[in-house]
Structure 1
Amino acid sequence: MKIKSVVLENFRNYDKLKQSFDPLLNIIVGDNAQGKTNLLEAIYVSGFGKSFRTNKEADLIKFGAAYASVKIECERENGALEIIEYRIKSGNKKAFLVNGVNITKISELLGRLNLILFYPDDLKLIKESPAERRRFLNRELSHISHIYCLDIIEYNRILMQRNELLKKFQHKAGFKDMVEVWDVQLAEKGARVIGKRIEFTHSLNEISSKIHANITDYQEHLKVTYVTSVKNRENYDTIKQELLEQLAQNLETDLKRGFTSVGPHRDDLDILINDINIKSYGSQGQQRTAALSLKLSEIEIVRKEIGESPILLLDDVMSELDHNRQRDLIYAFKEVQTIITTTDVLHILDDYINDSKIIQVENGKSISH
């Protein structure tokens, strides 16, 4: 998949912009606060249905404007063209269209524009709470598996209903029967979610360990494992049965706490370098490189799952890497369309710049070289 062009109107600090892209390397250059990341954000919103920078969609509309829009023309590897449009009006009324047809559910949008984003805040993937790593799993799996996307949405709906039951209806007649009904549904969806996460993490570990070894000159060994309370992970039925047993065993604890204490919504990833858990003991450099390795491994996973390459978005991360790691990173993915933001093009490899498209951004306007 390749992005051919992006058209923005009233998006962040852009009045109007039409920008074409090279099918391989694109470097967006400019000082801070000129609109480099805004351009990446517009692409990201069109692929994921939301921003990676804000939960307030009104922030995406240029100050004083009544609406904003993004229009992306992309080409699939079979040559088919697709137009994806995002529109938002003041009051947060938004719409997504694919080839002119309105998309009513975000789940129908995911996977249309396959993107891998790495930006400075992705360090949270390693450092922050398990919720960050679960979000990572859910986001990436939803993007490559429509079934997983529907399963995690339904799991969260059932979980919310069970928690509501624990808080408000524990003294009502028929409570035990009601909670057992929710437990069965939660275990069914939970087993599907856990099974897919285990499969994904296996691929993630295999690919990211190779990438990490390459960009650390084989000095570090990265290992990623899925952490869950379920011990018997042989198949769907064993996972479902153990979840049912754990839900029943923890019911008294759940009643006291007012929430469900077991299930995939409590799971995590363990991330080790040379057998040391870097969430607690890794340096910031190790954490950043590990996060980059995890993100880049998604490229190979997406290729295997959907049969075409995603688009790689790198927001202000090249300056964090030394020259050799820049070389390893860029040349490892020369066949993938890559869009990089940077304040100084000299940070990027000189011998590769000649074949790339350089886009100079200044105050919401761009000049291509």
Structure 2
Amino acid sequence: MFLSQLKLTNFRMFEDLQFDLPTGPIIILGNNGQGKTSILESIYLLAISRAFRAENEREVVNWKTIDSPNPTIVDAVVHGLEGRTRVIIGYHILKKEEVKQNFTPTTDHFSVKKEIRVGGVKRNASSLIGFVTAVLFSAQDINLVLGPPSTRRKFLDILISQSNRKYFRTLQKYQRGLKQRNSILRAIKNGTSQYGELEFWDDLLITEGLTLMFQRMEVLSRIGVDASNFLWELTNNNENLSVVYHPTIKLGDTINDTREVFRNILLQSRQRDIQVGTTQFGPHKDDFELSVNNSDMRLFSSRGQARTIALALRLAEASHISSPQSEPLILLDDILSELDKQRRQKILTTIAQYKQLIITTTNLTDFEDSFLKRSNIFGVHQGKITPYQHDVEGFH
């Protein structure tokens, strides 16, 4: 899989960006604040249907252009299993108020409606997932090790969803059911609902939740082996990684074996759930343990060690998503400067096998000359991207 064209209209800082992408390694060079990460964000948006840096989707709108008749658009030409296909994600402003001087993209002056088109046909997010596949390496990946369980769950959900669209639809059903159950729990506490209203949602959470947990357990066992092998190579055969799934309920051999176990836990925790207004057990509370040489890295990892483990997890993710027919886009967001020379070289050697990889950086000294010679280098400056020239102002 690869992209041949990318056009951004009123996306983040870009009012009108047009980028023709070659295959092979692509290096995007630029100073901080020039939009390098926004380009990767727009590409990753095509894969997961959400902007990974935005808490609210209106944040991707270039707020300086909200009076423009042109919506915010990510427009890409994708080459994959279905041949050459145009994928468009647009954000239409639904309402806006007078913009004040202290306006920021996170205020409530407007809202947006997202529209997805694949090959000219309207699609929803669940049908887009898996059409474009991508793996993003970023500095925030350190939170896969040191961050909260929610970060690791999100990693696992995105990984599985990109290779199994049915999993994503199950996840959506579970999340909607969880929201409804939590609403009823709060209503029971307030005296406006009855216990019997929980039964339907308990059944839904059991059915969809167990499907998620068993799928997570299976996939995590496979990527755990790959991640362990990658970490072994990255650390010169010094660190042995173990990845262990920790669901909030004890899983049996099959879903049917575990159904009553889950039901009993929901019944036993019902009073506590009502008191706190949320469901305490289920896949939304899962975690997985990362241990190196029998030490839990969530508790005892240094930042350097955590970065390396996160790299191993991302490499395992790319390996899992790949197939003989297709492979993901590889996106590296300015992470090489944080690695020593040996690990940089190993990472670049490993990802060089992929058809298209896009790497952002503030300088070229992190790359070997041999890698630079076979890379296409572009400079991004003040909202424009051009083939890199050493004498261009702003790229010294």
TM-score range (shorter-chain normalised) is: over 0.9
CA displacement, residues 181-207 of structure 1 (integer Å, 9 cap, x when unaligned):
322221111110101110111111011
Aligned equivalent of 1:99, options 98, 103, 119 = 119
Q: What does 1:163-202 correspond to in 2, within 5 Å?
A: 163-169=182-188, 175-202=194-221
Aligned equivalent of 1:157, options 176, 187, 211 = 176
CA distance in structure 1 between the partners assigned to 2:225 and 2:170 by the alignment: 25
1:284–1:143 CA distance, 2 compared to 1 (3 A): same
Aligned equivalent of 1:302, options 304, 321, 327 = 321
Larger mean Cα displacement after TM superposition, 153-162 or 172-181: 172-181
CA displacement, residues 245-287 of structure 1 (integer Å, 9 cap, x when unaligned):
2112222222232221111111101111111111111000011
CA distance in structure 1 between the partners assigned to 2:284 and 2:49 by the alignment: 22
Corresponding position of 2:103? none
Structure 2: gaps (5+ residues)? 94-110, 389-396
Corresponding position of 1:20? 20
Whichever residue aligns with residue 81 of structure 1, its letter is: R
Corresponding position of 1:85? 88
Whichever residue aligns with residue 308 of structure 1, its letter is: S
The offset of 1:293, in angstroms, is 0.9
Corresponding position of 2:332? 314
1:296–1:164 CA distance, 2 compared to 1 (3 A): same
Larger mean Cα displacement after TM superposition, 128-137 or 49-58: 49-58
Contact 1:26 1:356 in 2 (8 A): yes
Computed over aligned residues only, the root mean square deviation of the Cα atoms, in angstroms, reads 1.9
1:344 lines up with 2:347 in the alignment: no
Corresponding position of 2:101? none
Identity %, equivalent residues: 29
1:333 lines up with 2:333 in the alignment: no
CA displacement, residues 279-310 of structure 1 (integer Å, 9 cap, x when unaligned):
11100001111111111111111124x84210
> Any idea what SS the aligned residue of 1:75 has?
strand
1:179–1:12 CA distance, 2 compared to 1 (3 A): closer
Larger mean Cα displacement after TM superposition, 185-194 or 66-75: 66-75
CA displacement, residues 156-185 of structure 1 (integer Å, 9 cap, x when unaligned):
111122222222136869934332332222
Contact 2:137 2:314 in 1 (8 A): yes
Corresponding position of 2:54? 54
CA distance in structure 1 between the partners assigned to 2:364 and 2:201 by the alignment: 56
Whichever residue aligns with residue 80 of structure 1, its letter is: G
CA distance in structure 1 between the partners assigned to 2:191 and 2:208 by the alignment: 26
Whichever residue aligns with residue 96 of structure 1, its letter is: I
Structure 1: gaps (5+ residues)? none
Whichever residue aligns with residue 186 of structure 1, its letter is: L
Contact 2:189 2:275 in 1 (8 A): no
Larger mean Cα displacement after TM superposition, 13-22 or 153-162: 13-22
Contact 1:85 1:97 in 2 (8 A): yes
The offset of 1:30, in angstroms, is 0.9
The offset of 1:366, in angstroms, is 1.4
Corresponding position of 1:73? 77
Whichever residue aligns with residue 342 of structure 2, its letter is: N
Contact 2:188 2:195 in 1 (8 A): no
> Any idea what SS the aligned residue of 2:127 has?
helix
Larger mean Cα displacement after TM superposition, 125-134 or 202-211: 125-134
The offset of 1:224, in angstroms, is 1.0
CA distance in structure 2 between the partners assigned to 1:242 and 1:115 by the alignment: 37
Aligned equivalent of 1:286, options 282, 302, 305 = 305
The offset of 1:152, in angstroms, is 1.1
Aligned length: 366
CA displacement, residues 109-135 of structure 1 (integer Å, 9 cap, x when unaligned):
111110101111121221121111112
Whichever residue aligns with residue 313 of structure 1, its letter is: L
> Any idea what SS the aligned residue of 1:345 has?
coil
Corresponding position of 1:246? 265
CA distance in structure 2 between the partners assigned to 1:16 and 1:173 by the alignment: 52
CA distance in structure 1 between the partners assigned to 2:190 and 2:78 by the alignment: 56
> Any idea what SS the aligned residue of 2:252 has?
coil
> Any idea what SS the aligned residue of 1:366 has?
strand
CA distance in structure 1 between the partners assigned to 2:192 and 2:236 by the alignment: 64
Q: What does 1:128-139 correspond to in 2, within 5 Å?
A: 128-139=147-158
CA distance in structure 2 between the partners assigned to 1:259 and 1:61 by the alignment: 33
With the length of structure 1 as denominator, give the TM-score of the two structures: 0.94
Q: What does 1:240-279 correspond to in 2, within 5 Å?
A: 240-279=259-298
The runs of at least 4 consecutive aligned structure 1 residues that moved more than 6 Å come to 171-174
Corresponding position of 1:127? 146
The offset of 1:349, in angstroms, is 1.9
CA distance in structure 2 between the partners assigned to 1:266 and 1:274 by the alignment: 26
1:159–1:63 CA distance, 2 compared to 1 (3 A): closer
Whichever residue aligns with residue 61 of structure 2, its letter is: I
